[in-house]
Amino acid sequence: MDNSNSSTKDNQEQQLNTNIGIDGHINNIDDAGKILEREDFGERDMAPMAGSSIHRSSSRPQLDLSGAAIQGNFEEKDPTILLPNQSDDISHLALDIGGSLIKLVYFSRTANQPVNDRRKIIKARLGITNVNRRSYPILGGRLHFVKFETTKITECLDFIYSKQLHRGGICPMSDFLNFLWSSDNLCCNFLITGMDSRHWQSEGPNTENTIIKATGGGAYKFADLFKERLGISIEKEDEMNCLVAGANFLLKAIRHEAFTHMEGQKEFVQIDSNDLFPYLLVNIGSGVSMIKVDGEGTFQRVSGTNVGGGTYWGLGKLLTKCKNFDELLELSQRGDNRTIDMLVGDIYGGMDYSKIGLSASTIASSFGKTVSENKELEDYRPEDISLSLLRMISYNIGQARHMVSFYVLQIAYLNALRFGLKRIFFGGFFIRGHAYTMDTISFAVHFWSKGDAQAMFLRHEGFLGALGAFMSYEKHGLDDLMVHHLVERFPMGAPYIGGNVHGPPLGDLNEKISWMEKFVLKGTEITAPVPTSPPGTTGLGGFEVPSSKGDTLRPDASKLNVGVLHLVPSLEVFPLLADPKTYEPNTIDLSDHGELEYWFTVLSDHMPDLVDKAVASEGGTDDSKRRGDAFARAFSAHLARLMEEPAAYGKLGLANLLELREECLREFHFLDPYRSIKQRENEASLAVLSDLLMELDSMDEETRLLTLIEGVLAANIFDWGSRACVDLYHKGTIIEIYRMSRNKMQRPWRVDDFDVFKERIFGSAEKRPQQYKRALLFVDNSGADVVLGMLPLARELLRRGTEVVLVANSLPALNDVTAMELPDIVAEAAKHCDILRGAAEAGGLLVDAMINIQDNPRESSFSVPLMVVENGCGSPCIDLRQVSSELAAAAKDADLIILEGMGRALHTNFNAKFKCDALKLAMVKNQRLAAKLIKGNIYDCVCRFERAS
Ligand SMILES: Nc1ncnc2c1ncn2[C@@H]1O[C@H](COP(=O)(O)OP(=O)(O)O)[C@@H](O)[C@H]1O
Ligand SMILES: CC(C)(COP(=O)(O)O)[C@@H](O)C(=O)NCCC(=O)O
Ligand SMILES: [Mn+2]
């Protein structure tokens, strides 16, 4: 092994011992003077100079009103207006303009969800008074993270302009509605259609009154430029305040924001928000700040140093002529510092200076060899210079190859010691999620603390200040956000490739698809959407460096993607989880590479069939084919990225992967690929329902219960997400397959707690039965699964006096039935059955009966009600930490949960413990899962019954 180029633990220890730090001051503003115009920006996206010919007189958000429609009742005082084509309707922006990088955090608000009459009745039944999301104190929307090099501030201004982020603060919905309903705007509506919305002019105040919060030195330095180019005023926020506010927000509100990094292994850590303080925050940007944080807004900057990321980048740039930071880093990987550095061995004739514990390969004097050699700068390889510099920074100040010094770490730890802090969080873009750097830092903290303190890193490492500036706006309610309100998503769609910005931000789907197609034309392959890359890059789920197949891993492969944070204030933790803190939805952990590889192959193999279905669901048009192709590329890119770095999107479980696929379909506007299959299967199943019900009614109670459970398991075979099942469907009609599946049911099932469940229902000689009060049935697939499986089971419970709440997906996923579709299915089924009809009426599911129910929902019927609620997800699995408010409300009186299907009962929640009884029912439709989970075979069944814990 080449000793000089490798950093062993021994070496690290040695350097830790020999480096004693000096205190310094922070200097995070470099002289980033030159502002470059970007050549390839289209004119429409350039931020014009104030007073230029494009006159903008409004600070109102730019709205795409095409397709706007009133949702629900026209008579309502405050009707909800859905803007289907408005994605980023109301924006809000904050900046951190540092010495090296400009960080942007911006918010785009999502339109309120329509609340239909059916949902209103159900909510009333469940005692939810707030039927309108507007009443949530926190805005629903999305937080985006983007960064640019400070030297390329023009690109940043153009970005802000093209996204119209300079146009305003939070606009209350009532203002928006007034605006929309004023007579002028009805004209506007007409005018806007077909216009480039970015150039839409409307009445209203101009941007001169707009104030944007910003922190970092650039907030001072570039204030005039912002005024001149965008007409906005910068309101400066204190940098330390912002760093701390940003870190506190991230650590409290984002699940698995922090992670440890030891010997190449990332481990996500869930910080208990009640046990966060005190901690030490070390922000390594251009310079370094160390802040002891004791609470919200309570902190002290305890130390800092002027030798930081800027030092490495600045000197490196001067000496190597590198044009960007990552180029410099990459150079160092091929360098040999012995040509430049004077080693102990050079002085001691190749020997160690063992008396003081220095090996021959230890650097005695960084750049020392250049003194005695009669060479010019050009005579040295830039690769070697870069490495020497890194080592200089490292060895002088520590021993990290890439940057931060152990000096920093020593100070950090000494400070941690002084103040009794056990946790040290490292932020700032110097870290860049770089595996080597993080390992070195972790090692150093561990070494200096003798294992007492722990180094942790943050996924949003460089965005602390910008987030803090964002938090400093009043009224957005962000402080009230909790972990369960946030969902991170990773859309494709930033226009960044090859390390360069290749155009304006992508405005719409068409632009996104065209951009992706360019790769195909070039013959290159998108292998991975990599985030926050150099230069002028974004953290917004963008691509970078699409490398050809067969390429070796990029040096930055370990970097983590920063997604878009969706703020969904209506989400809640499922109240019946026995212990939400220890709850882990995923049964399969994909950080095991073997598992990841297997599921990667399963999902890749499924892709052609899925694309066919998706395209067919949109009529097979050329446009849908294009979108189908783009979806396949995008999802393959995600998979490739995750194979390369399983932690790239945060902690990865199988449920996340399956949800990512659904999200990716939605991103390319495939809203329900299995729509017609679902309809066909529903119809076929409804046609035989009455026969089944008659058959069931002819049985004695105990046989019937067993037949019902068998029926649920048998009908769970209709799963279009399982390769094996899809192959089966070619061999017979729906009803034939259903019969075959039922005939094959043989007890004992692989997991068989039926007798315990039966005893709970019917009681025993010693114990009289006590009926369940309310059961939540988490339904799975459309067709036979719900119609011939779950509905007859629901009917049995209703018949026994148990209220039944059918819990279905909010959005489509594979052939899963949704909460929107279910009432119609129930209404059809109710035609064949009085029990279902009475209960559905009582639950407000039957349209004809709804008028009466609306007047007095609680007194409308004598039957126990059958209700439908949405679960808050659009995935075949369910994470019970984040469910809809109506499901949470329904759960409050529930004493039985029935989870059905592989996604909800096996991939997720197989090990979940509940405060009430839980029945988990599924057919295992995958051989590997069967072997792993239940030591069984494909098509084996699980009937697991667990009493309340
Ligand atoms: N693309 C990049 N361009 C420049 N510097 C980068 C880049 N990526 C990471 N860095 C490193 O991050 C440092 C800046 O970190 P940051 O947290 O943004 O601090 P600041 O607010 O001082 O700009 C740089 O000095 C450099 O070491
Ligand atoms: C996506 C699914 C979890 C859906 O199963 P369900 O919940 O409908 O029972 C399941 O189809 C699955 O894990 N499919 C991939 C495995 C395979 O094709 O074998
Ligand atoms: Mn399903």
More confident residue, 460 or 861: 460
Q: How many CB atoms lie within 10 A of CB 669?
A: 14
Mean pLDDT over 759-766 rounds to 92
pLDDT in tens, 903-941: 999 999 999 999 999 999 999 999 999 999 999 999 999
Q: Give the C-alpha separation, 248 to 425, whole Å.
A: 11
- Nearest-CA residue for ligand 2 atom 18 is 722
The residue written with tokens 């960044």 in the block is 496
Alpha helical stretches, state H, 321-472? 325-333, 344-347, 369-372, 382-391, 397, 406-418, 435-449, 464-471
Pairing of the two strands 91-97 and 211-215? parallel
Residue 754 pLDDT greater than 80, yes or no: yes
Pocket test for ligand 2, best of 639, 722, 875 (most atoms within 8 A of CB): 722
- Nearest-CA residue for ligand 1 atom 20 is 98
Would you say the CB of residue 429 lies under 6 angstroms from ligand 1? yes
pLDDT in tens, 791-831: 999 999 999 999 999 999 999 999 999 999 999 999 999 99
8 Å CB contact between 434 and 560 = no
Closest ligand relative to 809 C-alpha: 3
> In terms of C-beta density within 10 A (0-12 exposed, 13-18 middle, 19 or more buried), how is residue 720 classed?
buried
ipTM > 0.90 (yes/no): yes
Q: Give the C-alpha separation, 348 to 353, whole Å.
A: 7
Q: How much distance in Å is there from the Cα of 534 to the middle of ligand 1?
A: 10
Q: Which atom of ligand 1 is nearest to the CA of 465?
A: 21
Q: Give the C-alpha separation, 924 to 902, whole Å.
A: 6
8 Å CB contact between 644 and 530 = no
Residue 303: pLDDT band (50, 70, 90) is confident
Q: How much distance in Å is there from the Cα of 901 to the middle of ligand 2?
A: 8
Q: Which atom of ligand 2 is nearest to the CA of 722?
A: 18
pLDDT in tens, 499-545: 233 345 566 788 878 877 776 665 555 555 544 333 333 333 333 33
Mean pLDDT over 571-586 rounds to 96
8 Å CB contact between 900 and 808 = no
Pocket test for ligand 2, best of 898, 925, 933 (most atoms within 8 A of CB): 925
pLDDT in tens, 305-317: 777 788 888 999 9
Q: Give the C-alpha separation, 519 to 517, whole Å.
A: 5
Query: Which one-letter amino acid corresponds to residue 443?
Result: F
Pairing of the two strands 69-71 and 941-946? unpaired
Ramachandran sector of residue 8 (left: φ over 0; alpha: ψ -120 to 50; beta: rest):
beta
Q: Give the three-class secondary structure for 520.
A: helix
Which residues, in sequence order, are bridge partners of residue 133?
A: none
Retrieve residue 382's tokens.
């830039």
Q: How much distance in Å is there from the Cα of 432 to the middle of ligand 1?
A: 9
- Nearest-CA residue for ligand 2 atom 3 is 903
Closest ligand relative to 909 C-alpha: 2
Q: So what's the pLDDT on residue 861? A: 56
Q: Which atom of ligand 2 is nearest to the CA of 719?
A: 8
211-215 β-sheet, strand order: 233-236, 211-215, 91-97, 101-109, 141-149, 564-567, 486-489
Q: What is the 3-state secondary structure (H, E, C) of 917-931?
A: EEEEEEECCCHHHHH
pLDDT in tens, 104-124: 998 887 665 566 676 677 777
- Nearest-CA residue for ligand 1 atom 21 is 98
More confident residue, 270 or 554: 270
Closest ligand relative to 923 C-alpha: 2
pLDDT in tens, 366-424: 889 998 888 999 999 999 998 888 766 654 433 332 333 454 566 677 777 777 777 88
Q: Give the C-alpha separation, 845 to 838, whole Å.
A: 10
Burial 774-804 (b: 16+ CB within 10 A, else e): bbbbbbbbbbbbbbbbbbbbbbbbbebebbb
The long-range contacts involving 738-742, CB below 8 angstroms and separated by at least 24 positions, are 738/685, 738/714, 738/784, 738/788, 741/714, 741/715, 741/717, 741/923, 742/710, 742/711, 742/714, 742/715
What residues does ligand 2 touch, defined as CB less than 6 Å away? 602, 658, 716, 719, 721-724, 780-781, 814, 876, 901-904, 907, 922, 925-926
Per the document, the length of the chain is 949
Instruction: Give the predicted TM-score (pTM) of the model.
Output: 0.81
Closest ligand relative to 327 C-alpha: 1
- Nearest-CA residue for ligand 2 atom 8 is 719
Residue 722 pLDDT greater than 80, yes or no: yes
Pocket test for ligand 1, best of 105, 429, 538 (most atoms within 8 A of CB): 429
Q: How much distance in Å is there from the Cα of 719 to the middle of ligand 3?
A: 6
Closest ligand relative to 725 C-alpha: 2
Pocket test for ligand 1, best of 146, 153, 313, 324 (most atoms within 8 A of CB): 313
Quick one: which of 499, 683, 487, 449 has its CA closest to 566? Answer: 487
Please say whether the dihedral angle defined by the alpha carbons of residues 357, 361, 366 and 370, taken in this order, is positive or negative. Answer: positive
Q: Give the C-alpha separation, 529 to 641, whole Å.
A: 6
Q: Give the C-alpha separation, 465 to 487, whole Å.
A: 21
- Nearest-CA residue for ligand 1 atom 15 is 285
Pairing of the two strands 279-284 and 288-295? antiparallel
Q: Which atom of ligand 1 is nearest to the CA of 97?
A: 21
